[in-house]
Amino acid sequence: MNKLKTIAICGSSGHISDQVEAICLELGKKLAENGYNLVCGGRDGVMEAVCHGFSLAPNSQGTCLGILPGMHKEDANPYCQLVIPTGLGYARNSLVVLSGDAVVVVQGASGTLTEVAYAWQFGKPVASLKSTGGVAARVADTRIDDRRKDKIAGFAEVEELLGWIKIKLGE
């Protein structure tokens, strides 16, 4: 039975650059190949590109889950395998984070920052791909507050990030 660990991806909706898209594709594919589930907000932009990457490893045991702000499954990007249409608007951000065993930040703006702050508050391991810019670059290697002693782990490369995930999730 699928009892795989789940990685939450927090990042921008909307247009992304070719460079960020390539990173997202690599990230999604490696998460799938390494036997993780993927959870994200189910929309376009970073979310869609990571889900797309996930689908490129078709023999994966993992599942790609989208937790939507709206009420309609049809709003999910086409790579989501399971869709939770919450109808909660942006209050759904905390659910994406709670569903991850670890949280990875890719680019992102204010909505992503709510997720980073929730992840920190909920005690989740948080890493960021700082080469993608935006919130990911801003929060890399920093603390959100003094209640935790660790930092948001900043990485330039997906491969390094994967190593960190494996260590954090005890494998």
- Is 114 near a second copy (CB under 8 A)? yes
Among the residue ranges 17-25, 40-48, 65-73, 161-169, the one whose residues contact a second copy (CB under 8 A) = 65-73
Q: Identify residues 93-112 at the interface with a second copy (CB under 8 A).
A: 93-95, 98-99, 109-111
Evaluated on CA atoms 20, 21, 25, 31, the torsion sign reads positive
Q: How far is CA 122 from CA 35, 101, 115, 153, 166, in A?
A: 24, 11, 10, 16, 20
Tokens representing residue 117 in the block: 């702050």
- Is 41 near a second copy (CB under 8 A)? no
Question: Which member of 22, 117, 137, 169 binds a second copy (CB under 8 A)?
Answer: 117
- Is 75 near a second copy (CB under 8 A)? no
Tokens representing residue 35 in the block: 């036997």
The answer to whether 151 and 142 are in contact (CB under 8 A) is: yes
The answer to whether 129 and 152 are in contact (CB under 8 A) is: no
* Residue numbers at the binding site for a second copy (CB under 8 A): 1-3, 6, 37, 55, 58, 63, 65, 67, 71, 79, 81-91, 93-95, 98-99, 109-111, 113-114, 117-118, 120-122, 134-135, 144-147
